[in-house]
Amino acid sequence: MKNAKSAFTLIELLVVIAIIAVLAAMLLPVVSRAKSKAYNTVCINQLKQLGAATRLYAEDNDSRMPKAEILPTMPIDPQNPLPRICDALGPCLGKAGGTNSAAVFKCPKDNLQMFDRQGSSYEWNTELNGRRIDETRSSNVRIVRVGVVNGEVVENTDEQKTLRFPPETTPLLLDYENFHPRDPKSGKNVVFMDGHVAPLEVQLE
């Protein structure tokens, strides 16, 4: 007597497909987290290179940092626009170990196309424009405070403040937006004046 030819039944096929679907659903979040972590690592490495390039720029320019626009498409003084930070730091990236100067400015999670529009996914801290990289404070900064008194807008321009720039807490460049969502910290990565990179932590007073 011949053995009956073995074959999968429809029910068995459906069970196998269901098992594959469950496994895929379980693996997708893991793959997504691993991908996000890889993108975050790329961003951190690029910011470290940009921090090193900023220091090299200062060494070549009497210890002074570059002057650049925060939004090159919207210069603070349209009659005298400053360069883009990518143009200012580009020549220094080769010395800092960057292999592709343009790519270093592009965060892999830049979904807002800031790199395409501004030349960089990373925002330059314009408070540091032209300042010495070893400067830790500025003096006689004029602070304008606007308030409403009895329904009228009042400006107080007499207040003088000293701005402090501790290297370990002063940002050089940071993601324009929250490109790297994570809890409980913000999704922005920052390279600080002392060269370390960390997530941006906003402290409210």
- C-beta of residue 121 within 8 angstroms of C-beta of residue 107: yes
Residue 54 lies in a domain: yes
- C-beta of residue 125 within 8 angstroms of C-beta of residue 114: no
Residue 50 lies in a domain: yes
Task: Count the domains in the chain.
Answer: 1
pLDDT at residue 149 in the model: 67
Q: Whole-angstrom Cα distance, residue 51 to residue 30?
A: 32
- pLDDT tens by residue, 114-133: 999 999 999 999 999 999 98
Average pLDDT, the chain: 80
Residue 12 lies in a domain: no
- C-beta of residue 57 within 8 angstroms of C-beta of residue 63: no
pLDDT at residue 8 in the model: 66
Residue 6 lies in a domain: no
Residue 102 lies in a domain: yes
Tell me the whole-structure pTM to 2 decimals: 0.71
- Residue 109's nearest CA partner among 178, 63, 192, 164 is 178
One-letter amino acid for residue 73 of the chain: T
pLDDT at residue 130 in the model: 93
Residue 153 lies in a domain: no
Return the sign of the alpha-carbon dihedral for residues 134, 137, 138, 144: positive
Residue 1 lies in a domain: no
Domain that holds residue 61: 18-134+167-199
Per-position pLDDT tens, the chain of length 205: 455 556 668 777 777 787 777 777 776 665 566 788 889 999 999 999 999 999 999 999 999 999 999 999 999 899 999 999 999 999 898 765 555 578 899 999 998 999 999 999 999 999 999 999 887 765 544 444 555 567 664 555 555 556 677 888 889 999 999 888 887 777 899 999 999 999 987 554 4
